[in-house]
Amino acid sequence: MLNPSVRAAQALAAAYTHTHPSRPLDGKGYAETAEANLLEGVRLEDFRQDFEQGDGNELEGKFLAAHSSSAFAANCFGPFKTRPEELELVGKGGFTKLGFERKCPTGLRGKSPNLDLVAQTDDQIIAVESKCTEYLTSHEARFADAYSEKILDDRRDGPWFAEMERLKQDPRGYVHLDAAQLIKHAFGLAYTFPGQKVMLLYLYWEPANPEADPAFARHQAEIEAFAERTSEGFPRFASLSYPALWKSWNNREGPDWLRAHVANLQARYLVEI
């Protein structure tokens, strides 16, 4: 049997082909253009500038994959870009601004971490790290020496820093969860938004049948362990699956267009492997 990462990518490519029969994918599961990878009602012009300011030239590279996590986030949240007040996320609403590929400097030299989405209210920031199939491959935690040597402010005394130091001794402590990336995001958020209410939300894809492979249960267990180790930290950590997010949207009295948008998301991404 193929590994779950390959099976997931194939299922997502098949769903893309089914929902966009006139838009071909290449042999690696990539669309021809960024626009071709977007759902009905999602407009690239609403957020193109955000992506062009980010690192990695996403719109001409990874974004084109049917299993792209950045395209996934854009497809999910793109319609809210021009109407952020209609978004509800982990029980929070009243957003005034949404930004994709938001750079949050850590105060160290080098590239700043890019958050897939940053949603802001008058009194809170929710930063999203979006995952599609990436966690179905193994990860090893790596940190430049500067993280230990140059972070000398309040971040040094918190659980995020302690978890980094633990992972430097046990870099394979998580198999599926990219904990190093989350820790770097947390350092960037703490440096960029000091003294504010900030949440780092880990938002991840799951298939319609997660019981089909034990990797999904292992991933869940790692999320829970990580959440416990970083509890009481700044920023606050939370996690949610995309299917659970869509269910919450269907259960609310939202705008008229939202149910159709959720149906499009489910047709494209809620696949079995």
pLDDT lower than 50: segments of the chain: none
DSSP state of 31: B
- Distance separating alpha carbons of residues 138 and 130, to the nearest angstrom: 17
What pTM was computed for the model? 0.95
Largest Cα–Cα separation, the chain = 55
What per-residue confidence (pLDDT) applies to 69? 93
Q: How big is the CA angle at 225 (ends 98 and 249), to the nearest 5 degrees?
A: 35
Q: How far apart are CA 141 and CA 164, in angstroms?
A: 9
Predicted pLDDT at 50? 94
CA angle 58, 192, 97 (to 5 degrees): 65
Residue 89, Cα to own-chain centre: how many angstroms?
Answer: 13
What are the angstrom distances between the C-alpha of 167 and each of 15, 73, 154, 228?
A: 37, 28, 20, 15
Structural tokens at position 208:
């319609």
Q: What pLDDT is attached to residue 58? A: 77
pLDDT digits (tens, 9 = 90+) for 132-180: 999 999 999 999 999 999 999 999 999 999 999 999 999 999 999 999 9
Residue whose token pair is 């997931």: 8
Structural domain harbouring 13? 4-269
Cis peptide before 243 (omega within 30 of 0): no
Number of independent structural domains in the chain: 1
Residues 107 and 221: their CA atoms lie apart, in Å, by 32
C-alpha closest to that of 249 among 17, 86, 45:
86
Torsion of CA 217, 222, 224, 229, to 10 degrees: 170
What pLDDT sits at residue 60?
84
